[in-house]
Structure formats: C-alpha cells, structure tokens
Amino acid sequence: GAGVSQSPSNKVTEKGKDVELRCDPISGHTALYWYRQRLGQGLEFLIYFQGNSAPDKSGLPSDRFSAERTGESVSTLTIQRTQQEDSAVYLCASSLHIRSNRGIDQPQHFGDGTRLSIL
C-alpha cells in the first residue's frame, strides 16, 4: 500500500512569499504529525492532528505557521511571509492512533519530506 506522500518534494522561494506544503497520510491513519528538521539536526515537533482537530499546536514557531486537515486525510502546512530561518526539511508522519490500554502507540510512518529553501 501507499505510504505517506508529501508534495512538493522541493520548494525554493523568495523571502516574504507564502508557501503551502501538502501531506497525504496512509489511508486509515487517524493521527497526523508535522515536524521540521534543520540541516544536521534532529526533528522538531510542530503540530499534530487527531482526525481533523489539532489538540497540540505548541510546536508552531510563530503565527506565520498554520496547518489544516480535512477529515482524516490530507493536511496542509502553510507558512506565511517566509523567512530564511524557515529553510528546512518539513516532514509529515501518520499513525493509526495515539493510545491503547497498553499505552503502546503505533509507530509513526514518515513521508520523504519537503525540502524548503528560502532565498
């Protein structure tokens, strides 16, 4: 079956422009996550969705960042008035659900990311 799909794979844009990044999760996965990975760094959490609600937006770096999700499918991450420090790989992941009675979580399956470069 198809994995997590992200588009575009690469995006180069000028400072000050808005960008929209898209994520198609694995079919049936109710949880969806956005992360940012700067060059040579680990992953930095941005936001997650359970269904189409976002219980945790604590990782969004500023009000220039927003995200939406339609039902339990596609999500878009929008960055307005991009800055050079926004340059990074933006990774999307999805999983079946957050918790079970064992506390176990299904692993998050990642897309290949969108490499965003702000000139």
In 1-119, where do the E strands start and end? 5-7, 10-13, 19-24, 31-37, 43-50, 53-56, 65-69, 75-79, 88-95, 109-110, 114-118
For residues 77 and 93, which CB has a smaller minimum distance to other proteins in the complex? 93
Backbone angles phi, psi at 86, to 5 degrees: -80, -10
Which region among 17-25, 44-52, 61-69, 72-80 touches other proteins (by CB under 8 A)?
Answer: 44-52
Which region among 18-26, 27-35, 61-69, 75-83 touches other proteins (by CB under 8 A)?
Answer: 27-35
Which parts of this chain interact with other proteins (CB under 8 A)?
Answer: 31, 33, 35, 41-45, 48, 50, 55-56, 58-59, 89, 91, 93, 98-99, 102-105, 107-113
